[in-house]
């Protein structure tokens, strides 16, 4: 079997793309999107008709158009897969709990009007304190959440304590940060801060029987992916999925609930808002990458907004 086939026996493989053609070809269980991926997908020539129709329907209200297009892409993806799609709320709301809740409720209402079962949608938001608190409430309303832009253990602890369905710790962006800080070109998986961070989160969750699942994200190489074989889920860009399909080598499982019990016990903790803030102030990786990640998603939405404004004029 190829590395991809072996990996699928250990881990749920998720396609990290808004490209409908890629999803139809790869046939993943689930798919994840973010503002950057949505923008890329909607700029494809095949989607110009949908753009024009949606613009007309919403009388040129750009925010309403972007939200509608985001849901439409989600519905189209769900028509191609058996599982769930992750749909991200506007990153500008990342520090506003109530606005995030309101946007999530609006998204779910639109999905339900389109005939989509709520269990097939994960509402995605940044793992700020405010985002996590929004997810805490939404989960009580049976709205499942995927907390993204997760770089630190304190974020993971708070997400598990809030009972969120899924977290997406970013592997590649942490590695990028590590390379810059350490002035290194190559970092093996055994020393990869992104890989090791996800392993610690997974082990902590399994030791304490948290229901929150771990989905490794933001990969730079197949080496990183295979170093996390056995993680609950891994969301992977199409080019790396294709590369895994060409690798003819034995894949060794790296993570499992039982393996997590064999390492030193991790203390179970809960964090108040003050403790979360203090941990954030001590975590240089998250301090650097979380705001930049939010800004990049805002930038992608702005890029799409500018394109739509140009179409309107």
Give the span between the Cα atoms of 220 and 188, in whole angstroms: 12
- The CATH architecture annotation of domain 3-312 reads Alpha-Beta Barrel (3.20)
Give the start-to-end residue ranges of the domains of the chain.
Answer: 3-312
Mean pLDDT of 68-72: 89
- Mean pLDDT, the chain, whole residue set: 94
Tell me: pLDDT of 57 over 80. Answer: no
Kindly give, in sequence order, each residue whose CB lies less than 8 Å from that of residue 255, ignoring residues fewer than 6 positions away. Answer: 199, 202, 203, 228, 229, 230, 231
| Mean pLDDT calculated for residue range 213-228 | 98
The answer to whether residue 27 is catalytic is no
Which residues, including other chains, have CB under 8 Å from residue 1's CB and lie 6 or more apart?
none
What local confidence, expressed as pLDDT, does residue 313 receive?
Answer: 64
DSSP for residue 127: -
**161, two tokens:** 């304590």
- Mean pLDDT over 19-37 rounds to 89
27, 40, 103, 124: which one is catalytic?
Answer: 124
What is the Cα–Cα distance from 69 to 249, expressed in whole angstroms?
A: 41
pLDDT of residue 43: 75
Burial 36-58 (b: 16+ CB within 10 A, else e): bbbbbbbeeeebeeebeebbeeb
Nearest to 287 by CA among 198, 160, 181, 208: 181
Is the pLDDT at 295 greater than 80? The verdict is: yes
- Choice between 46 and 13, residue whose per-residue pLDDT is larger: 13
At 89-134, the pLDDT tens digits run 999 999 999 999 999 999 999 999 999 999 999 999 999 999 999 9
Among the listed ranges 15-24, 31-40, 132-141, 228-237, which one has the minimum average pLDDT value? Answer: 31-40
């Amino acid at each position: 079997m190829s590395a991809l086939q072996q990996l699928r026996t250990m881990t749920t493989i998720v396609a990290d793309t808004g490209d409908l053609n890629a999803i139809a070809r790869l046939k993943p269980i689930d798919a994840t999107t973010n503002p950057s991926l949505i923008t890329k997908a909607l700029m494809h020539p095949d989607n110009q008709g949908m753009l024009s129709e949606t613009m007309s329907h919403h009388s040129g209200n750009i925010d309403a158009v972007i939200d509608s297009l985001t849901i439409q892409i989600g519905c189209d993806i769900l028509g191609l897969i058996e599982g769930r799609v992750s749909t991200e709320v506007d990153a500008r709301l990342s520090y506003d709990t109530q606005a995030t809740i309101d946007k999530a409720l609006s998204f779910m209402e639109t999905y339900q009007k389109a005939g989509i079962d709520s269990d097939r949608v994960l509402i995605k938001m940044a793992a700020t304190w405010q985002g996590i608190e929004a997810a805490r409430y939404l989960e009580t309303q049976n709205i499942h959440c995927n907390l993204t832009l997760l770089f630190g253990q304190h974020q993971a602890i708070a997400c598990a304590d809030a009972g969120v369905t899924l977290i997406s710790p970013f592997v590649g962006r942490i590695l990028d940060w590590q390379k810059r800080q350490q002035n290194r070109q190559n970092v093996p998986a055994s020393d990869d801060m992104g890989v090791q961070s996800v392993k610690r989160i997974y082990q902590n969750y399994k030791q304490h029987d948290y229901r929150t699942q771990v989905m490794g994200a933001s990969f730079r190489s197949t080496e990183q992916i295979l170093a996390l074989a056995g993680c609950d889920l891994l969301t992977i860009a199409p080019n790396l999925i294709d590369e895994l399909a060409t690798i003819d080598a034995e894949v060794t499982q790296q993570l499992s609930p039982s393996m997590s019990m064999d390492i030193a016990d991790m203390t179970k903790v809960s964090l108040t808002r003050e403790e979360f803030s203090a941990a954030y102030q001590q975590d240089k990786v998250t301090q650097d990458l979380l705001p930049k990640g939010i800004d990049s998603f805002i930038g992608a939405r702005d890029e799409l907004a500018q394109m739509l404004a140009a179409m309107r004029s």
